Chains A and B, each alone.
Chain A
Amino acid sequence: MNGPPLEAWLALSAALFAVGLFGVLTRKNLVAILLGVELMANAANLNMVALGHFRGTPFGQAAALFSIALTVAEVVVGLAIVVLLARTHKSVDADAPSEMQG
């Protein structure tokens, strides 16, 4: 069992998560935000696989697969919403829809 230690994987995952979060928070483009969300989701998947591997159980990978399937569904729904918003607001700017303003 050679290769990088668990800490390295977790650090990579955290970095991935941070990059994703940064994207979500700073991007105005809805597609870019969705990409950020995907990065964060994959950071979590990486965590699960890594932890499962080092604990010697297959459940980490199983959960990751499950999560990937869900993420796919989420992306489908998310992109559909983006398409709808683009149609109604003629823009994919995240600030454009403001109907929820109190």
Chain B
Amino acid sequence: MIELAMVPVFLPLATFGVLAVLWPLRHSGMPAAWLSVASALASCVAAILAWTGAPVAGEPAQGMVFDWLVHDGKTIAEVGFRLDAISAPMLVVVTFVAACVQVYSLGYMAHEPRPALGRYFAWHSLFIVAMSGMVLAPNMLQFLACWELVGLCSYLLIGFYWDKPSAGRAAVKAVWVTRFADIGLMSGVVLLYVTTGGFAFEMTGDSGAATLVAALLFCGVMGKSAQVPLHVWLPDAMEGPTPVSALLHAATMVAAGVFLVVRAWPIFEAAPPVLTAMTWIGAVTALVAACTALVQHDIKKVLAYSTCSQLGYMVAALGTGSFFGGYFHLTTHAFFKALLFLAAGSVIHAVGTNDLREMGGLAKKTKLTAGLFILGALALAGVPPLSGFFSKDLVLEELLHAHAYGPLLICLAAAGLTAFYMTRVVCMAFLGPASARSLEAHESPPVMLLPMGALALTAAVAGFTTGRFGNDVALAPWHFAVTAPGVAALLLALGGIALAYMKYGQGKLAGLGVPALAAFIRSGPVDGLFVRGWQQGLRPLAGVVGWVDRYVVDGAVNLFGWAALVGSERMRVLQSGKLRDATYLLVMGALVVVAWGAIGGVR
């Protein structure tokens, strides 16, 4: 089985290599795209096959490793593959969503110039390599390496429209922020090595060290998985093409942080203070991001903040001391959020704008897209029997069992808001009177609808695998039970849907909402802090260093040079070039020597 699990790394790697080196093929556009799609589909099939034969929780992992770094002739780090109960499902999720997104891109990106298309698919292939390599990582070092590589893919794909200044800024910002968080992750990995002498996903013994390592690792998680206040890059990342947002910035890459916690669970488990902090940070993220999503006009930004919010759920769930709920929510979220993004892309494709205010009445023109979007929205809102209901229920249940009542209440509020903002989007985009743009809209081609259908199917039914998932992955038995938070969440969700429908679908409740607050949220207060930090912190500091270097350090060097120049100028006067001056000096010198001899001189 491990050989099958290696396919999602090596096949896309070969594809990427071919596309990178053979530029005529890359510039040919569609052939390159089909090559990449074929390898993605094959990777997906291989991943599913590997999953069926993968070890379940409690069974030993399958693996294959190669020496990578040495130290005194001994290996200190390996690279390779580790297929176990935790990596197998994630591998399936990654390759499945990636394959769907790549097929979808065949339609969505068809109008791009051909070289750009080849480049786009080459980077998609590289992304599958990096993500699969991370999922299958046998140790923390490979995890870190591939984690940075998915960040690189994110940078490249956000900046896909590199000639657009806003895309360039967004791409660079994503790296700046995530790598800022990676200062913590990298320190954590180094400390792990220093403490344990290796990079394994576990630490035994010293719980103080484990807490420190877990806290440092979690810094990285906060950046990658966009936890408040390091979430500022994710909404900007929507500058990339919509399929990229679906794959990287909703389904898989941003969930890497959550997956890191699951992967390094033995370390986090040994660090209760970090877990508690995670619960709170996750819950706050869930609420803050949901509030921000309420007031966005850009359909992708709504979904981006929604992703933030759902990542907050996952992190909060992980903080309860069991990774079942967080991991399961990651899985279902990957399906329905990818679906939502692809459907949003289909909408954007149809009307040519991201702005919700310019949409409306699209349900008539694009029936299938509308249906799929609404399905995704219901799953996200947590309406049974769609998958989101089960996973969100599980998260809330875990919060209840962990007696984390504060985070539980916050998450419940966020659940209501989630339903509200998703219904708002549905109403503004699909219902109501058709806008000028909507009248010219057209349904997307089958090549885009098909992968959406596949994702819709999984988003709808994934919830029924909860029990199996609990057994196979988390060693946690699960039976469906009606709990107070579950019921409350459902009621809140239905209430949110009803309220939003009344406000945006029927135009009632005009007084609901605080324009000043909405404007404040829309202005990006957290973003402002980062901008201030850059403008008033780092950049002036660099300026000071530049000044000091030029005028103090280099000034000292120049002072020497100047002193030598000016000094030699003074000394030059002695060289009159006149014979008699030279003779005078000669004689005077001789007299001095004689006089020195006369008074004793050197004995």
Seen from chain A, the residues whose Cβ lies within 8 Å of a Cβ on chain B are: 21, 24-25, 28, 33, 94-95, 97-102
Contacts and interface: CB of A to CB of B under 8 A. Distances in A.
B578 A95 contact: yes
A99 B577 contact: yes
A25 B580 contact: yes
B584 A101 contact: no
Interface in B566-589: 572-580, 583-584, 587
Contacts, number: 32
A97 B577 CA distance: 8
A102 B575 contact: yes
B577 A25 contact: no
Contacts of A101: 575-578
6 contacts: A21-B587, A25-B580, A94-B578, A94-B579, A101-B577, A102-B577
A98 B575 CA distance: 10
B578 A25 contact: no
B574 A24 contact: no
A100 B580 contact: no
Contacts of A33: 579
Interface residues of B, number: 12
A46 B275 CA distance: 108
Interface of B: 572-580, 583-584, 587
A98 B574 CA distance: 13
A29 B342 CA distance: 104
A102 B574 contact: yes
Among all A-B residue pairs, the 7 with the closest Cβ atoms:
A102-B575, A101-B577, A100-B577, A102-B572, A98-B577, A94-B579, A95-B578
Given A25-B587, A95-B579, A101-B575, 19 more contacts: A21-B587, A24-B583, A25-B580, A28-B580, A94-B578, A94-B580, A95-B578, A95-B580, A97-B579, A98-B576, A98-B577, A99-B577, A100-B575, A100-B577, A101-B577, A102-B573, A102-B575, A102-B576, A102-B577
B118 to A, nearest CB: 69
Contacts of A25: 580, 583-584, 587
A12 to B, nearest CB: 20
Nearest to B578: A95
B404 to A, nearest CB: 86
A63 to B, nearest CB: 21
Contacts of B572: 102
Nearest to B582: A100
A24 B580 CA distance: 8
B582 to A, nearest CB: 9
Contacts of A24: 583
A101 B587 CA distance: 20
A37 to B, nearest CB: 10
A97 B358 CA distance: 93
A95 B576 CA distance: 10
A47 to B, nearest CB: 15
B576 to A, nearest CB: 6
A23 to B, nearest CB: 11
